[in-house]
Amino acid sequence: MIMEFAELIKTPRVDGVVLHRPFMPTVEGTLCLTGHHLILSSRQDNTEELWLLHSNIDSIEKRFVGSLGHITVKCKDLRMIQLEITGMEECLNIASSIEALSTLDSVSLMYPFFYRPMFEVIEDGWNSFLPQNAFKDLESMTDEWRLSEVNKDFSLCPSYPPLVAVPKDVDDETLKKVATFRHGGRFPVLSYYHKKNGMVMMRAGQPLTGTNGRRCKEDEKLINATLRPGKRGYIIDTRAINVAQQAKARGGGFELEANYPQWRRIHKAIERYNVLQESLIKLVEACNDQSHSMDRWLSKLEASNWQTNVKEILTTACLAAQCIDREGASVLVHGTEGTDSTLQVTSLAQIILDPGCRTIKGFQSLVEREWLQAGHPFQQRCAQSAFSNSKPRYEAPVFLLFLDCVWQILRQFPCSFEFNESFLVLLFEHAYASQFGTFLGNSAAERARLCLPEKTVSLWSWVNRPQELERLTNPLYEPNSLVIWPSVAPQSLLLWEGVFLRWNRSSKCLDEAYEEMVHIIEYNKELQTKVNSLRRQLAQLETEDPLLHTP
Amino acid sequence: QKYYHYVHLFLQVEQVRLLDRFSNKSIHGTLYLTATHLIFVESNSNNSILHHHIASVEKLSLTTSGCPLVIQCRNFRVVNFVIQRERDCHDVYSSLLRLLRPVCYDELYAFSYNPKQNDQQREEGWQLIDLGAEFERMGVPCDQWQLTDVNRDYKVCETYPRDLYVPVTASKPIIVGSSKFRSKGRFPVLTYFYQEKKAAVCRCSQPLSGFSARCLEDESMLQAISKANHNSRFLYVMDTRPKLNALANRAAGKGYENEDNYSNIRFQFVGIENIHVMRSSLQKLLEVTGTRSLSMSDYLVGLESSGWLRHIKAVVDAAVFLTRAVTVEGASVLVHCSDGWDRTAQVCALGALLMDPYYRTIKGFMVLIEKDWISFGHKFADRCDQLDGDPKEVSPIFTQFLECVWQLTEQFPQAFEFSEWFLLQIHEHVHSCQYGNFLGNNQRQREELQLRERTHSLWAFLMSEKQNHLNPFYSPAYSEAHPVLEPSTLPYHFKFWRSMYHQFDRSMHPRQSILKTILTLKENSRKAESTLQALESVSTLLHIVIFLSFKLEPTESTDTERTVEGSSGTESRKQSYGELEGTYNSDLVKEEPAVVSLEFGVARMTC
- Rounded CA gap, A61 and A389, in Å? 10
Cβ <8 Å between B528 and A545: no
Q: Binding site residues of B, as ranges?
A: 274-275, 337-343
Contacts of B510 in chain A (CB under 8 A): 411-414
Q: Which of B300, B489, B569 sits opposite A548 (nearest CB)?
A: B569
The answer to which of A354-363, B217-226, B560-569 has the lowest mean pLDDT is B560-569
- Select from 2.102.10.10, 2.30.29.30, 3.40.50.10240, 1.10.3720.10 the CATH code of A1-104: 2.30.29.30
Contact assessment for residue B500 and residue B545, using Cβ atoms and an 8 Å cutoff: no
Cβ <8 Å between B512 and A414: yes
Q: Which of A505, A513, A538 sits opposite B413 (nearest CB)?
A: A513
Q: For residue B121, what is the enclosing H or E element?
A: helix B119-127
**ipTM reported for the complex, 2 dp:** 0.94
Contacts of B493 in chain A (CB under 8 A): 505
Residues of B that are catalytic: 337
Cβ <8 Å between B490 and A290: yes
Please check the confidence at residue B581 and state whether its pLDDT lies above 50.
no
Averaged over B383-412, what is the pLDDT?
96
The better pLDDT of the pair B576, A13 is held by: A13
Cβ <8 Å between B525 and A523: yes
- Cα–Cα separations (whole angstroms), residue A130 to A127, A201, A459: 6, 20, 15
Contact assessment for residue A251 and residue A212, using Cβ atoms and an 8 Å cutoff: no
CA atoms within a 13 Å half-sphere pointing along the CA-CB vector of B179: 22
pLDDT at res. B24: 80
Cβ <8 Å between B498 and A534: no
Averaged over B324-346, what is the pLDDT?
98
Residue-wise pLDDT for A107-158, tens only, equals 999 999 999 999 988 899 999 999 888 899 899 999 999 999 999 999 999 9
Cβ <8 Å between B300 and A495: no
Distance from CA of B171 to the nearest CA of A (A): 44
Domains and their CATH numbers in chain B? 9-101 (2.30.29.30), 119-518 (no CATH)
Q: Which of B296, B412, B550 sits opposite A307 (nearest CB)?
A: B296
With CA atoms as reference, the chain A residue closest to B317 would be A292
The rounded mean pLDDT for chain A is 94
> How does strand B332-336 pair with strand B199-204?
parallel
Contacts of B569 in chain A (CB under 8 A): 547-548
pLDDT at res. B562: 31
Distance from CA of A516 to the nearest CA of B (A): 6
- Rounded CA gap, B205 and B478, in Å? 36
Q: Is B109 on the interface with A (CB under 8 A)?
A: no
Distance from CA of B26 to the nearest CA of A (A): 18
Contact assessment for residue A209 and residue A219, using Cβ atoms and an 8 Å cutoff: no
Cβ <8 Å between A490 and B296: yes
Contacts of A295 in chain B (CB under 8 A): 304, 307, 310
With CA atoms as reference, the chain A residue closest to B561 would be A547
Contacts of B296 in chain A (CB under 8 A): 302, 307-308, 310-311, 490, 493
The better pLDDT of the pair A169, B116 is held by: A169
With CA atoms as reference, the chain A residue closest to B414 would be A513
Residue-wise pLDDT for B168-197, tens only, equals 999 999 999 999 999 999 999 999 999 999
Contacts of A551 in chain B (CB under 8 A): 561
Q: What are phi and psi of A463, to 5 degrees?
A: -65, -40
Averaged over B393-400, what is the pLDDT?
98
The pLDDT-based confidence of B551 (bands split at 50, 70, 90) is low
The better pLDDT of the pair B3, B345 is held by: B345
B-interface mutation test, from A292, A401, A413, A491, most B Cβ less than 10 A away: A491
pLDDT at res. B544: 81
pLDDT at res. B600: 32
Q: Binding site residues of B for substrate, as ranges?
A: 274-275, 337-343
pLDDT at res. B552: 55
% of chain B exceeding 70 in pLDDT: 89
Contacts of B523 in chain A (CB under 8 A): none
Cβ <8 Å between A490 and B300: yes
Please check the confidence at residue B605 and state whether its pLDDT lies above 50.
no
CA atoms within a 13 Å half-sphere pointing along the CA-CB vector of B586: 10
Cβ <8 Å between B525 and A527: yes
A-interface mutation test, from B294, B296, B501, B520, most A Cβ less than 10 A away: B296
Cβ <8 Å between A413 and B569: no
Which residues, 6+ apart, have CB-to-CB distance to B119 below 8 Å?
Answer: none
Contacts of A302 in chain B (CB under 8 A): 296-297, 300-301, 304
With CA atoms as reference, the chain A residue closest to B559 would be A547
- Cα–Cα separations (whole angstroms), residue B523 to A107, A339, B295: 55, 49, 40
pLDDT at res. B597: 30
Cβ <8 Å between B525 and A305: no
Contacts of B492 in chain A (CB under 8 A): 287, 297, 495, 497, 501, 504
Residue-wise pLDDT for A55-68, tens only, equals 999 999 999 998 89
- CA B224 to chain centroid, in Å, comes to 34
Contact assessment for residue B172 and residue B149, using Cβ atoms and an 8 Å cutoff: no
Residue-wise pLDDT for B355-371, tens only, equals 999 999 999 999 999 99
Report angle CA B346, B351, B353 to the nearest 5 degrees.
100
With CA atoms as reference, the chain A residue closest to B506 would be A487
Range with top average pLDDT, A2-16, A25-39, B304-318, B503-517: B304-318
- Rounded CA gap, B446 and A325, in Å? 59
- Which B residues in the span 505-544 are in contact with A, Cβ-Cβ below 8 Å? 507-514, 517-518, 521-522, 524-525, 528-529, 531-532, 535-536, 538-539, 542-543
Q: Is B363 on the interface with A (CB under 8 A)?
A: no
With CA atoms as reference, the chain B residue closest to A523 would be B525
- CA A225 to chain centroid, in Å, comes to 31
B-interface mutation test, from A284, A288, A294, A401, most B Cβ less than 10 A away: A294
Question: A317, A353, A178: which is closest to A236 by C-alpha?
Answer: A317
pLDDT at res. B584: 29
CA atoms within a 13 Å half-sphere pointing along the CA-CB vector of B461: 17
- Rounded CA gap, A512 and A24, in Å? 17
pLDDT at res. A548: 53
The answer to which of A118-132, B385-399, B411-425 has the lowest mean pLDDT is A118-132
- Which B residues in the span 391-430 are in contact with A, Cβ-Cβ below 8 Å? 411-415
pLDDT at res. B368: 98
Averaged over B201-216, what is the pLDDT?
96
Q: Which of B303, B512, B607 sits opposite A298 (nearest CB)?
A: B303
Cβ <8 Å between B521 and A520: yes
With CA atoms as reference, the chain A residue closest to B415 would be A509
Q: Which class for B41: exposed (0-12), middle (13-18), buried (19 or more C-beta within 10 A)?
A: middle
Rounded to whole angstroms, the maximal C-alpha distance in chain A is 100
Predicted TM-score (pTM) of this structure: 0.92
3-state secondary structure B291-327: CCCCCHHHHHHHHHHHCHHHHHHHHHHHHHHHHHHHH
Contacts of A293 in chain B (CB under 8 A): 491
Distance from CA of A313 to the nearest CA of B (A): 12
pLDDT at res. B273: 97
- Rounded CA gap, A228 and A327, in Å? 13
With CA atoms as reference, the chain A residue closest to B568 would be A548
The pLDDT-based confidence of B567 (bands split at 50, 70, 90) is very low
With CA atoms as reference, the chain B residue closest to A305 would be B297
- Which B residues in the span 265-294 are in contact with A, Cβ-Cβ below 8 Å? 289, 294
Distance from CA of A85 to the nearest CA of B (A): 31
- Cα–Cα separations (whole angstroms), residue A388 to A59, A278, B413: 6, 11, 36
Distance from CA of B312 to the nearest CA of A (A): 10
Distance from CA of B518 to the nearest CA of A (A): 7
| pLDDT (tens place) for every residue of chain A, 551 residues total | 566 788 889 889 999 999 999 888 899 999 999 999 999 998 776 667 899 999 999 999 999 998 899 999 999 999 999 999 999 999 999 999 999 999 888 899 999 999 999 998 889 999 999 988 889 989 999 999 999 999 999 999 999 999 999 999 999 999 999 999 999 999 999 999 999 999 999 999 999 999 999 999 999 999 999 998 889 999 999 999 999 999 999 999 999 999 999 999 999 999 999 999 999 999 999 999 988 899 999 999 999 999 999 999 999 999 999 999 999 999 999 999 999 999 999 999 999 999 999 999 999 999 999 999 999 999 999 999 999 888 878 999 999 999 999 999 999 999 999 999 999 999 999 999 999 999 999 999 999 999 999 999 999 999 999 999 999 999 999 999 999 999 999 999 999 999 999 999 888 999 999 999 999 999 999 999 999 998 888 888 777 765 555 44
Torsion angle, CA of A8/A11/A12/A15, rounded to 10 degrees? -160
Give yes or no for a cis peptide into B141 (omega within 30° of 0).
yes
